[in-house]
Structure 1
C-alpha cells in the first residue's frame, strides 16, 4: 500500500534497487562456494597443518612421558626434555598462525571458537608437565592430560571439515576419521610402551590395550571405505605393508597374554621397531590425503570464480544498462508529468478562481482564451494531456455556469430578503398602530410578543442581505447613545430577559454604524443566550478604552474548546468564501461581514466563570462623547434630544506621548448627572431605534404638536398618549403625568381619578386614530 502511494521516482528507484539486489544475490550464491573453498585453503594452511605438526609432537611427548613413568629413571630425562622443546615450538607456530588475520577472516564463528578452545586447552600443557615431573600423576592420569589437548585439536578439525561443497566436505571428514584412528593407535603405543617399561600390564591396562587395538582397526576400516580411489589405493598399500603386518602380529601376541604381573613376550625394542614404521607411514598417508584434498578444492574455487566473473560481469553490465535506461526514461516521464502538474495547479490556483471572480462581477469570459490547449506529444503522456485539455475546458465551463448560478441565487436571495424586509417594516407599522389603540393588557401583551417576533424576523431578513453581499437599508443620520444601541440589539433577541445590561457610559455611536452594530450585537447576544443554561444570565458591559470603545458579552455556559475558539476567531477575522451549501455557523459569517465593514474587531476568549466572553472593539472613528448623558434614578429631568455629530476627519497616530481621544459632539449646557451605579435588567422588549426619517415636505407642526419624549429612570422610553395623533384628534385634557410631583403626597382618590382620566383619553385617542386610518384606507381604495 505504501509503494502504491509513492512517487514515480520512488517506484523506479525501488525497481532498480530490487534488480541490483537480485544480481548481488545471484553473484553471492555463485561466489560463496568459491570463497568458501579459498577460505578452507587458508584455514588448512594457517590452522590445520600447524595443528597436525603440533599433534604429532604431542603424541611423541605423551609416549615418552608414559614410558618414563613406567621406568625407574628420574623425570625428565634428556630425550623427554628435547621432545618437550619440539612440542613447544610446534605449539608456538600454531598459536601465531591460527590467530592471524587471514585465518580469522576465512573462519566462521564455530571454527573460530574451536580454534580458541584448542589454543586455550594447550596452555595447560606446562602445568601438566610440572605435575608429572613431581610424581603426583601415574601413567593413566598423565596420558589423560595429553588426551584432553589432543581431543580439542580434533574438535577443531571437525569444524574445518564443514564446507559448502558436499563432496569435498565428505572427503575432509573421511580424512579426519582416519586421523582419529591414528590417534587411537598412538594411544595404544604409549600404553604398551609404559607397560613394557614397568615390566608388565595391569589388568586394567591390558583391557584398555585390547579395546584400543580393536577400536583403531575398526575406525580405519570404516573410514577407508569412503576414501576417493587415489587415497583408497594408498590406504591398501599401507594396510598390506610389512610394518603393519608385523604390528598386527605383535598386537595379537600381547592380547593373548592375559596373565597379570608376567613379563610380556615382547620387548620394548621389538615394540618400537614395529609401531614406529606403521605409525609413520599412516601419518604420511593422512598428510598426503589432505594435500590432495586441498589440491582438488583450489581448481574448483578457481572455476567458480571464473564463472562468477563471466556471469556476474554480464549481469552487472545488464544492470547498469537498466539503470541508465530507467533514469533517462524516468526523467523524461517526470518532466512531462511536472508540466502537466504545473498546468493543473495554474488552472486550480489562478485561472479557475479568476474566471469565477470575473463572472461573479458580471464580466464576459472567453473560454477559448482562458483555456489554451497544452501540447504533450503523441505518446501516452500526450494522450493524458489531451484528456486534461478536455477536463480543464469542461471545468472552466462548469465553473462559469456555477458562478453565474451563484450570482443569480444571490440576487434572488437579495430580492427576497428586500421584499421580506419591506413586509416586516409594514408589519411593524401595523403592530404599532394596534398597540396604541389596544387597551386590554392581555391583548397588548400578545401584541408585544408579535412585535418582538417581527423584529427578529427583520434581523433574519437582514442576515440574508448580508450573506448576499449587500448592506441592509436601515441607516441613521444622527448619532445614537450606546445604551440605546445595545437595547436595540436586545430587542432582537428572543430570551432578552436573561440579559443583564451594565452601565455603558456617556458615549454615542455615529449614525452610519448604528444599524450594523445593532445587528452584530444581536447576533452575538443571541448566540450567548442560546449556548448557555436557561438558569444563567448573560452580562453586557461597555467602556471607553485607548483605541475606541469595548463592549463585552459574557455568558455562563459550558464554554468552547481552545481549538474551537481559535477556529471561530479565525472565521471572524478572515471569513472564507460563503457557499450556499454551508449552513453551519452562519451567525459568525454575518458577524465577520458586519465587523469588516466598519473595521470592528471581534474576539472570543474563555470566561473565568466557565463560559465564553466576546470582546467587541469599536474604533475611535465610530464613537463620540455624549453631550446628553442618561438620566439617573430619581432624576426627572427630560432627556435632551440627540444632535447630529460629525465624525473626526483628521486623526493623529497614537503614541506614548500623544494618544488619540474621542471628539465630543457639540455640547449642550446641561449639568451632567451622576453615572449609573448598577446593572439594568431589561423586563420588556424595547424596539431598536428606528432610522431617522427624511425631512417632511409639509409645514412642521407647532411646539404644541411636538411633545418631548420622556424616559423612565432606567432609560426606557415612556409612551405618551396622543403623541402621534393628528392635532384635530387630540384631547385637550392633559394626559402626561407631572413628573415633578411626588407620588407619595397624592391621595388614593387623586391617583384613581388621574389613572381613569389617562385610560379614557388613551382609549378615545386610539379609537379616533383607527377611524382616521380606516377612512384613509377607504379613500386610497
Structure 2
C-alpha cells in the first residue's frame, strides 16, 4: 500500500521542524530547570517564615515545658502555676503552627509536610503525658524522654527540608540543624538536671543518661560547626572560646564523669542552672541567626538566578526566532522554486500540450521551438536549475513526440481513408453487379448463393465505412429526404450476419432526417451485431423502439452472459466521450465506431444489464434528427410487416407466386445506388 503523499512544502517544513524543535526543546528544558531552581530558592523564604519558625517555636515551648515538668517530678511541691501557664503557651504555639503552615502548603515538600502534621498530632496528644506528670506516675527521666520524643518529630521536619537541589545551601542548612539538635540535647540535659536538683540527688540511670547526652551533644555540635562556612561558623568559634562555653563544658564533663558528688553538685545548683541556661540561650540565638542568614541568602541567589535565566531565555528565544525566520525564509524560497517547476509542468500538461494536440488534430502546423520556451525560475539553486533544464528538455521531447504522433496518426488515418474509399468503391461496384445477376438468374440454388454473397458484400461495405469513420471522414452514402425508422432498423439488421435471430418491434410512423440515415444504420448494425455475437446462437435479439419525450428510443437486448459492472462503466464512459482511437485496442472496434457516430449526431448510447442476464443497449435519437411530417409514403408491397419473414429468402418461392427480388422489401431510399430515386445523393 502506497504511503500518504505529502507536498514539497510539507516536507521542507518537516526538515526545518526537526532542528528547530530540538533547539526549542533544549532551550525550554534549560529555562525550566533554571527557573525551577530560582523558584525553589524563593520558596525557602515562604517555608522558613511559615513552617520553620513556628515549628521551632513549638520545640522551644516543649523544651520549656519539659524542664518545668522534670523539676516538678523531682520536687515534693504541688503543681505550680508556672507549669500550667507553660502548658498553655505550648498549646498556643501548636495552634499558631497549624494556622500559618497552611499558607506554605504548596511550597512545602510532601515529606516535610507529613512530618509537620505528625508534630501537631503528637503535640496535641500531650494530655496523657501531662496527666501522668500531675499524678507523679512518671520519673523525671521518663518525662524527659516523652517530651524528647515529641521534639524529635519536630527536628525530623527540618531534616526533610529538601526544597532546592543546591548542594551548598543544603549543606549549610543541615549543619545548622545539627547544631539545633545539639541545643535540643543541651535542653534535655538541663531538664534532667532540673529534676535531679529538685530531688537533691542523681540516680545511676540519670548519671548514665546524662553521660550519653553529653557525648551526643559534643558530637552534634562539633559536626554542625565543622560543616558551616567561614561566615556562619565565626560566631560559634567565638562562643567556643567564651567563658560561658568553658564553664558549661567543664561542669558537663564533671557530671558526665561523676567527678563531683551529689553534695557538691547540689551545692552548685545555682551555677549549674545559670551556665546551662546561658549556653542554651547563646546556642539558640546563634541557630536562629544562622537560619535567618541561610534564608536571607536564598533571596539574592534566587533573584540572580531569575535574572540570568531571563537574559538566557531572551537570548535563547532570539536565537530560536532567528533560526525559525531564516529557516522559513529559506524554505519559502525553495518551495517557491519547486512550485515554479510544478506550475511549469501543469501549464505544459494542462494547457500547452493539449492545445498543441488540439491544433494538430485540426491539421494545423506547430512550431516546436515556439511551443517549448525554456523554464525560467528566478533565484533558483543549482539543483533546481538542473531540474529546470531537464524539464525544458522533457517538454521539448514531449511536444516533439506529440507532433510526431499526430503526424503518424494523420498518416494512418489517410491510409485508412484511402483503403476504405477503394474498398467502398469496389464493394459498390460488386453490389451493382450482384443486383444485375440476381435479376438475370432464375436457378433457385444459384440465386440463393448470390443472395448470400450480396449479404456478405453488404457487411463488407459496413466494415469499409467503419474505417472511413475511424479516419475522421464521412461515408459517401447519404439521403436528403426523411426515411422511416422502421426501414432504417430493417436496413441495419440486413447488414448483420445472423439477422435471422433478430426480432424487431418498431412503429412505422416516426422518420429520421436524411443526412443522419447512413450513420444511424451503421450505429444500429454495430450494436445488433455485437448482440448476436456475444449471445448464444439459439437465443433471439430483440430490437424495440418507441417515441420518447426527447426523441426516439431504441433498445437492443440480447440474452447473453452480460458484462461486469466495472467493464460496463468503462464502456459507457467511452460511448459518452469516445477517446482517441488506439491501434492496439481492436477488440472493441465496433463500440468505438458507435461512439464516434453517436457523438457526430448527438445520439446518446448507453449499456445496462438486461433482466434476462444479458445486455441492453439504449439508443436515444434526439428530436432534432426526427422528421416532423414523417417519412414519404411508399406502396404497401414495398413495406415490411411488423413481424416479417427473413429479408433474404433461402428457398425459392413457388412457380405460381411472384418471384422475390433482393432488397425489394426496403424503402426506395435504402436501396443500392443504381436503384435509388433521382432525389437521392
| TM norm structure 2 | 0.70
**Other-structure match for 2:26:** 25
Q: CA deviation at 1:57?
A: 1.8
**Deviations along 1:531-552, whole A, 9 cap, x unmatched?**
7789987654332222222223
Closer/same/farther in 2, CA of residues 536 and 214 from structure 1, 3 Å limit: farther
**Deviations along 1:403-454, whole A, 9 cap, x unmatched?**
222222232233344455566777888999799899779x979996x88877
Say whether the 8 Å CA contact 1:540–1:551 is kept in structure 2: yes
Structure 1 gap segments, 5+ residues each: 258-263, 624-646, 649-662, 671-706, 724-733, 739-757, 763-781
**Deviations along 1:10-40, whole A, 9 cap, x unmatched?**
73696388448626734752x4565344323
Q: Secondary structure at the match of 2:545?
A: strand
Q: Quick check: 1:79 aligned with 2:86?
A: yes
Q: Secondary structure at the match of 1:549?
A: strand
Say whether the 8 Å CA contact 1:34–1:301 is kept in structure 2: no
Closer/same/farther in 2, CA of residues 62 and 425 from structure 1, 3 Å limit: farther
**Other-structure match for 2:574:** 571
The one of 233, 245, 250 aligned to 2:249: 245
Q: Secondary structure at the match of 1:719?
A: coil
Q: Quick check: 1:506 aligned with 2:514?
A: no
Closer/same/farther in 2, CA of residues 710 and 666 from structure 1, 3 Å limit: closer
| C-alpha distance in 1 between matches for 2:62 and 2:86 | 12
Q: More helix by proportion, 1 or 2? A: 2
Q: Secondary structure at the match of 2:505?
A: coil
**Other-structure match for 1:128:** 125
Say whether the 8 Å CA contact 1:559–1:611 is kept in structure 2: yes
Q: Quick check: 1:150 aligned with 2:154?
A: yes
Q: Quick check: 1:89 aligned with 2:96?
A: yes
**Other-structure match for 2:57:** 57
| C-alpha distance in 2 between matches for 1:203 and 1:519 | 136
Which stretch shows the higher mean deviation, 352-361 or 237-246? 237-246
Q: Quick check: 1:664 aligned with 2:637?
A: no
| C-alpha distance in 2 between matches for 1:552 and 1:444 | 31
Closer/same/farther in 2, CA of residues 615 and 717 from structure 1, 3 Å limit: closer
**Deviations along 1:299-320, whole A, 9 cap, x unmatched?**
6656656665666655655555
- Taking the TM superposition and a 5 Å limit, the aligned residue runs for 1:467-546 are 467-473=470-476, 475=478, 482=485, 485-486=488-489, 501=503, 503-510=505-512, 511-525=514-528, 539-546=542-549
Say whether the 8 Å CA contact 2:483–2:631 is kept in structure 1: no
| C-alpha distance in 2 between matches for 1:191 and 1:604 | 115
Q: Secondary structure at the match of 2:546?
A: strand
Q: CA deviation at 1:80?
A: 1.4
Say whether the 8 Å CA contact 2:480–2:515 is kept in structure 1: yes
**Deviations along 1:724-776, whole A, 9 cap, x unmatched?**
xxxxxxxxxx72548xxxxxxxxxxxxxxxxxxx9xxx9xxxxxxxxxxxxxx
- Taking the TM superposition and a 5 Å limit, the aligned residue runs for 1:536-685 are 539-554=542-557, 567-580=570-583, 588-605=591-608, 613-623=616-626, 647-648=627-628, 663-666=629-632
**Other-structure match for 1:719:** 649
**Other-structure match for 2:677:** none
| TM norm structure 1 | 0.62
| C-alpha distance in 2 between matches for 1:369 and 1:708 | 63
**Other-structure match for 1:46:** 46
Q: CA deviation at 1:224?
A: 5.8
Say whether the 8 Å CA contact 1:196–1:267 is kept in structure 2: no
**Other-structure match for 1:407:** 410
- Taking the TM superposition and a 5 Å limit, the aligned residue runs for 1:90-489 are 90-96=97-103, 98-99=104-105, 104=106, 107=107, 112-114=109-111, 117=114, 121=118, 124=121, 128=125, 143=147, 146=150, 150=154, 153-154=157-158, 156-157=160-161, 159-160=162-163, 162-163=164-165, 165-173=166-174, 175=176, 226-231=227-232, 241-242=245-246, 245=249, 248-249=252-253, 252=256, 276-293=277-294, 341-372=342-373, 380=381, 389=392, 391-419=394-422, 461-473=464-476, 475=478, 482=485, 485-486=488-489
Q: CA deviation at 1:401?
A: 2.5
| C-alpha distance in 2 between matches for 1:437 and 1:5 | 80
| C-alpha distance in 2 between matches for 1:7 and 1:393 | 25
Q: Secondary structure at the match of 1:505?
A: coil
Q: CA deviation at 1:610?
A: 6.1
| C-alpha distance in 2 between matches for 1:178 and 1:534 | 117
Q: CA RMSD in A?
A: 5.7
**Deviations along 1:363-393, whole A, 9 cap, x unmatched?**
2334454445566568646776666555544
Closer/same/farther in 2, CA of residues 193 and 594 from structure 1, 3 Å limit: farther
Q: CA deviation at 1:594?
A: 1.8
Q: Secondary structure at the match of 1:77?
A: helix
| C-alpha distance in 2 between matches for 1:222 and 1:429 | 135
Closer/same/farther in 2, CA of residues 419 and 669 from structure 1, 3 Å limit: closer
**Deviations along 1:565-589, whole A, 9 cap, x unmatched?**
5554443333344454666855554
Say whether the 8 Å CA contact 2:531–2:541 is kept in structure 1: yes
Say whether the 8 Å CA contact 2:559–2:612 is kept in structure 1: yes
Q: Secondary structure at the match of 1:544?
A: strand
Closer/same/farther in 2, CA of residues 300 and 466 from structure 1, 3 Å limit: farther
Closer/same/farther in 2, CA of residues 127 and 713 from structure 1, 3 Å limit: same
| C-alpha distance in 2 between matches for 1:147 and 1:11 | 66
**Other-structure match for 1:742:** none
| C-alpha distance in 2 between matches for 1:86 and 1:423 | 130
| C-alpha distance in 1 between matches for 2:605 and 2:182 | 102
Q: CA deviation at 1:153?
A: 2.5
Structure 2 gap segments, 5+ residues each: 663-681
Q: CA deviation at 1:248?
A: 4.7
Which stretch shows the higher mean deviation, 397-406 or 312-321? 312-321
**Other-structure match for 1:11:** 12
Closer/same/farther in 2, CA of residues 330 and 191 from structure 1, 3 Å limit: same
**Other-structure match for 2:675:** none
| C-alpha distance in 1 between matches for 2:618 and 2:365 | 43
Count of residues in Structure 1 that have an aligned counterpart in Structure 2: 635
